[in-house]
Amino acid sequence: MPTLGGSFSPWREGEGRLQRLETQAMSISFTRLGDRAPISLYPGVAFQFGGKRHKGALLVSPGGVYNWSSASDGFDEAGLFGFLNMEEAHRCDLLLLGTGPKSFLLPAGFAAKVDRRGLGLEAMGTAAACRTYNVLLAENRQFLAALLPI
């Protein structure tokens, strides 16, 4: 998949061509890995979704699953907010945050920034977040997920 600027690249296949999803406030792009699908953890710190395995962090929106490459060394608040600035994020009502092997204290003011975007926030270990994600997906909820690897 093409990658432009920064760590991510949101390209979506549509009508036989690639479409770039623009962020509004930042010049960050996200690599689209596939359609939104049930996610499970695979031994060896990988996620499995849509018949694919992916090592590393994921960002998920109603439009698909994206690589969160800048979070490979830990929580990347700036990259996450760049993702939240994407146009399709405005249709969602919840951000599900998988914090890795266990929960951690979120940066000061993080919850308030998420709340200002009109999103609820649920943060938990990634294993629990994957289970919650699958329930929300089955309910056809409009939500975003940011999942750090275990």
User: Would you state the pLDDT for residue 104?
Assistant: 81
User: Would you state the pLDDT for residue 76?
Assistant: 82
User: Would you state the pLDDT for residue 72?
Assistant: 61
State the Cα–Cα distance between residues 109 and 82, nearest whole angstrom: 16
Taken in order of first residue, the domains within the chain and their CATH numbers are 11-147 (3.40.1230.10)
State the Cα–Cα distance between residues 86 and 88, nearest whole angstrom: 6
Q: CB-hemisphere CA count at 13 Å for 41?
A: 20
User: Would you state the pLDDT for residue 1?
Assistant: 35
**pLDDT tens-digit profile, the chain (150 residues):** 333 233 333 334 443 333 344 433 345 667 889 999 999 998 666 899 998 899 888 999 998 999 887 666 677 888 899 888 876 677 899 999 999 888 888 888 999 999 998 999 999 999 999 999 999 999 999 999 999 988
| Residue-wise DSSP of 63-127 | TEEEE-GGGTTS--HHHHHHHHTBGGGGG--EEEEE-SSS--PPPTTHHHHHHHTT-EEEEE-HH
State the Cα–Cα distance between residues 101 and 52, nearest whole angstrom: 21
State the Cα–Cα distance between residues 121 and 132, nearest whole angstrom: 13
